Amino acid sequence: MARPRRKLSSLLVWSAALGLGCGADAGAPAEEPPDVQIGARASALVAPLPGAMRSTQVGGGFGQEDGGVPTDPRDFDPIAAQATLVVTTEGVDVSMQVTGCAPFIKGYTVRVHSAASCEDLDAQGNGLGAEESDGVRLWCNGTSGLGALFHEHPHTRLPAWTVGGPAESDLVGRVLVIHDPNTDAPLACGPIVAVSEPDAGAHFEASVEQTTLLTGHCLLRQGVTATAACPDAQEMAECAALHCELQSCANLCADQLSCAARQPDVCAATDCEASVACHECTGELLQCIFGFCPETLRCAELAPDGPCAELRECCHTQGDFEEQCLMLVELQATVGGDPSCLGAMSDWDWNVHLPVPCDYGEPE
């Protein structure tokens, strides 16, 4: 049968939203969690370092000229990011929104360094946990120049991370650094500073049914792999409450949620208008859910030898591109299951970006 086509560019949009590849192993489990302050927050404005030279090695087909779209890293603005760090009951969440992100095949490396300032930065990095891990991987959204990262450092992992905790684990006063994918040289750096929790406004107690308007559950339940029980609205709401500040969005969207509660089906409450602030919040919330809660979205049953399994085998032949390739396949499997993977197998845009061509065999 004919295989449907799916654009790689759209997959890379979702890969950025998911923060794929962002969770490197940060060391051995801790014997007991550190003394943490739940809800403590910090931020970092990660700015380009003066004189930083970005590698020009791209790869994986991204170096090809395509309709005037910039593919040479020198055509992009210097990389920069805004990072937010929040302590939850389970760990420290790190979220980053990135600009000037050039599509390197290996992905950038992000590390926390123990330097007191960016001026004192050791080029090799003696980061908090740098000896125990390769840092956190950051991927770009195609050639858009944008990227996103979502990473959870559990309290049970060593080295421990805290915000405002003991000096040996406190992230405040350290620096967050983005490194070149090929040379590991530092490209951008920003001090991590403590910030107060934003004023969330009047508290609105939303039911699980009402939160479906905020979490994207209404949209996702229409997907080709959705079932009556999956995605589960309760699981999505719980994960969003833990990692994505669901309550803040509920407060901002109180008028819309109150209106929707009076309708037979909240997902069909099209007459309930949302404010601009509510729209912005729900957009960020959905991106966060894809980044921190992908396990709540997977509904498809994958065949052991099906298209997604074939794509994984293809990824294992891709050299430096293997890690990102596997991330994209997991995205395909999460969003659309085997039918989505089947589409990628015959998609020119997907296959032309593979460093090593793959033979998928005869289509069924």
pLDDT of residue 66: 45
pLDDT reading at 349 higher than 80: no
pLDDT greater at residue 43 or residue 296: 43
pLDDT reading at 5 higher than 70: no
Neighbour-count burial of 281, counting CB atoms closer than 10 A to its CB (0-12 exposed, 13-18 middle, 19+ buried): buried
Helix (H) / strand (E) containing 299? none
Amino acid at 113: H
User: Global pTM?
Assistant: 0.78
User: How large is the average pLDDT for residues 259-269?
Assistant: 86
CATH class of the domain comprising 8-27+75-195: mainly beta
| Confidence at 74, pLDDT banded by 50, 70, 90 | low
- Above pLDDT 90, what percent of the chain? 33
Q: Token pair of 220, please?
A: 């996702």
Q: Where are the domains of the chain?
A: 8-27+75-195, 208-296
Is residue 285 within 8 Å of 214, Cβ to Cβ?
yes
Cα distance between residue 301 and residue 341, in whole Å = 13
Average per-residue pLDDT for the chain: 79
User: Which of 139-148, 171-180, 256-265, 336-345 is least confident?
Assistant: 139-148
User: Crossing angle for the helix pair 322-345 and 307-315, nearest 10 degrees?
Assistant: 150
pLDDT reading at 102 higher than 60: yes
51 conformational bin, left if phi > 0, alpha if psi -120 to 50, beta if neither: left
| Confidence at 88, pLDDT banded by 50, 70, 90 | very high
pLDDT of residue 77: 83
Grouping H, G, I as helix, E, B as strand and the rest as coil, residue 35 is: coil
pLDDT reading at 30 higher than 60: no
| Confidence at 351, pLDDT banded by 50, 70, 90 | confident
Q: What is the CA radius of gyration of the chain?
A: 21
Task: Kindly report, residue by residue over 276-285, the tens digit of the pLDDT.
Answer: 999 999 999 9
Cα angle value 32/192/47 (rounded, 5°) = 140
E strands of the chain, at which residues? 41-48, 80-87, 91-101, 108-113, 136-138, 145-154, 175-179, 186-195
Report residue 82: phi and psi, to 5°: -115, 120
pLDDT reading at 73 higher than 70: no
Cα 154 from chain centroid (whole Å): 16
Task: Kindly report, residue by residue over 154-205, the tens digit of the pLDDT.
Answer: 998 888 899 999 988 899 999 999 998 888 889 999 999 999 876 656 788 8
pLDDT of residue 6: 36
Cα distance between residue 217 and residue 231, in whole Å = 7
pLDDT of residue 10: 37
User: How large is the average pLDDT for residues 18-27?
Assistant: 41
pLDDT of residue 276: 93
| Confidence at 138, pLDDT banded by 50, 70, 90 | confident
Cα distance between residue 187 and residue 162, in whole Å = 25
pLDDT of residue 255: 92
pLDDT of residue 335: 73
